[in-house]
């Protein structure tokens, strides 16, 4: 409950003249909208606002009334003035106002979310109100777009990316729109972006996972990037590592299993990775050795064994090491052959580390090099740029898959 008290209407007017609270608290925390009750006392009148959007600091708990609410209170106060003797009044804030976007799809959304700072102002004056209103979906919606070849799913980080529908006749995209994932694992798209989507199949995908708003937006990278322009797209190496983190978090959330291993060393290795400039052997091998340490060594074998059991792997796991265990997890969903292909980039990464770090006898290194040359259709092993870029794309695809795919039945 939020309590506000004013000695007269003049004080109320003064307080809310040009009122537009910020999205960040003095303490550094983010304000997010919560639906609560506000009790506003103006002189001898008490107005109770039910279902009122309140901005609450997620760190220190400080609260402000949503900035679009004071005009409603003001109006109620004046109606109230014409009924002397009546000092208590209740009002509610509508949540079901509809906007001029994505009308065909008729998505669920909450019009009170316009109280999130920035959602009701638009840099582009041709956009009418509601363009930047968040619409919420179950995270599983991503899996639909990921598994269908007519669409393309890209992650810029663990919780921010875009979805596109591939175009025909040489056009790259029919539509392409950004999405974010919030702390409750809801996928967020903006109503104005959704307006571009006209085809029935895409609408059906989205509609079947459309859920009520949880009002969380400010903390997301989607908000920081799209409404505040604070985000720069990380390099692919960093995106791979962020998606690895996202996969571990998902496993922890769904099964209570911790896949992390040697995290301190991994954080150190992360700092050594930089975008290659001339793709020399030194640059490429440095990143490959570091990535092998992060992706192949930085995963718990015991955790993977637990995960195998949790998703119903029935094979004998004895003697299996990390990559084979991960493969067994994927096989429960994709079958053995496809699982081997999905996980193969991690074997290639390890092969490459062996080549660059000279960890095996010369003959074995030669064989590993030949396998790499054949896989990536190189003229020679020293085509480092082609080799490196192909491997990064494969690893990115693999971790995108792990971040989106649903294993077992218990994960919700
Ligand atoms: Zn605060």
Same-domain status, 210 and 245? no
pTM of the shown model:
0.80
Mean of pLDDT values over 70-95: 90
Same-domain status, 145 and 253? no
> How many A from CA of 56 to the centre of ligand 1?
8
* Residue whose tokens read 């299996």: 320
Same-domain status, 61 and 170? no
Same-domain status, 117 and 152? yes
Same-domain status, 169 and 291? no
**Whole-angstrom distance, CA of residue 261 vs CA of residue 298:** 5
Same-domain status, 210 and 290? no
> How many A from CA of 30 to the centre of ligand 1?
7
How many domains does the structure of the chain reveal?
A: 3
166 in any annotated domain = yes
Same-domain status, 208 and 292? no
> How many A from CA of 26 to the centre of ligand 1?
6
> How many A from CA of 3 to the centre of ligand 1?
17
Helices (H) and strands (E) in the chain, counts: 14, 11
Same-domain status, 258 and 322? yes
> How many A from CA of 59 to the centre of ligand 1?
5
Same-domain status, 218 and 241? no
Mean of pLDDT values over 363-388: 93
User: 31: which 2 tokens?
Assistant: 């304000």
Average pLDDT, the chain: 92
**Whole-angstrom distance, CA of residue 412 vs CA of residue 403:** 14
**Whole-angstrom distance, CA of residue 188 vs CA of residue 400:** 18
> How many A from CA of 60 to the centre of ligand 1?
4
The residue out of 92, 124, 156 marking a domain boundary is 92
Using CB atoms within 10 Å of the CB of residue 111, give its burial: 0 to 12 exposed, 13 to 18 middle, 19+ buried: buried
184 in any annotated domain = yes
> How many A from CA of 159 to the centre of ligand 1?
24
> How many A from CA of 25 to the centre of ligand 1?
5
Same-domain status, 145 and 217? yes
User: Which ranges of 213-280 would DSSP assign to H, the alpha helix?
Assistant: 221-226, 236-255, 263-272
Same-domain status, 125 and 253? no
Cβ pair 226, 191 in contact under 8 A? no
Could you report the per-residue pLDDT of 14-42, keeping only the tens digit for each? 999 989 989 999 999 999 999 999 999 99
> How many A from CA of 24 to the centre of ligand 1?
8
pLDDT at 410 (0 to 100):
56
201 in any annotated domain = yes
User: In terms of residue numbers, what domain contains 168?
Assistant: 111-226
Could you report the per-residue pLDDT of 126-174, keeping only the tens digit for each? 788 999 999 999 998 998 998 899 999 999 888 899 999 999 888 889 9
The residue out of 180, 197, 226 marking a domain boundary is 226
Same-domain status, 183 and 209? yes
Cβ neighbour number for residue 177 with a 10 Å cutoff: 17
177 in any annotated domain = yes
């Amino acid at each position: 409950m939020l309590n506000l008290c004013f000695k007269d209407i003049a004080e109320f007017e003064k307080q809310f003249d040009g009122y537009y609270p910020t999205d960040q608290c003095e303490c550094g925390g983010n304000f997010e909208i919560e639906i609560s009750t506000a009790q506003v006392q103006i002189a001898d009148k008490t107005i109770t606002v039910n279902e009122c959007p309140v901005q609450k600091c997620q760190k220190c708990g400080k609260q402000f009334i949503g900035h679009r609410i004071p005009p409603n209170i003001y109006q109620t106060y004046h109606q109230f003035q014409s009924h002397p003797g009546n000092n208590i009044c209740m009002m509610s804030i509508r949540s079901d106002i509809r906007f001029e976007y994505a009308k065909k799809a008729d998505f669920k959304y909450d019009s009170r979310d316009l109280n999130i700072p920035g959602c009701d102002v638009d840099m582009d004056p041709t956009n009418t109100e509601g363009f930047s209103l968040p619409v919420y979906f179950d995270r599983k919606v991503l899996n639909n777009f990921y598994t269908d070849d007519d669409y393309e799913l890209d992650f810029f980080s663990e919780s921010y990316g875009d979805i596109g529908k591939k175009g025909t006749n040489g056009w790259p995209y029919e539509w392409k729109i950004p999405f974010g994932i919030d702390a409750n694992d809801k996928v967020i798209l903006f109503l104005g972006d959704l307006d571009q989507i006209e085809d029935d199949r895409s609408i059906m995908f989205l509609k079947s996972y459309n859920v009520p708003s949880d009002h969380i937006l400010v903390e997301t990278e989607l908000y920081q990037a799209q409404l505040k322009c604070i985000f720069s797209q990380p390099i692919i190496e960093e995106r791979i590592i962020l998606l690895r983190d996202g996969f571990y978090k998902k496993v922890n959330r769904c099964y209570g299993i911790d896949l992390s291993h040697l995290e301190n060393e991994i954080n150190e290795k992360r700092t050594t990775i930089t975008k290659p400039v001339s793709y020399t052997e030194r640059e490429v091998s440095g990143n490959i050795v570091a990535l092998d340490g992060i992706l192949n060594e930085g995963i718990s074998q015991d955790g993977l064994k637990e995960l195998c059991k949790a998703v119903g792997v029935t094979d004998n796991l004895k003697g299996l090491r990390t990559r084979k265990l991960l493969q067994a997890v994927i096989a429960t969903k994709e079958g053995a052959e496809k699982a081997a292909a999905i996980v193969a980039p991690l074997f290639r990464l390890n092969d490459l580390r062996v080549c660059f770090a000279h960890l095996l006898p010369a003959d074995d290194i030669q064989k590993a090099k030949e396998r790499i040359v054949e896989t990536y259709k190189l003229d020679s092993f020293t085509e480092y740029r082609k080799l490196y870029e192909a491997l990064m794309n494969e690893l990115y695809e693999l971790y995108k898959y792990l971040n989106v795919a649903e294993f077992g039945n218990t994960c919700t």
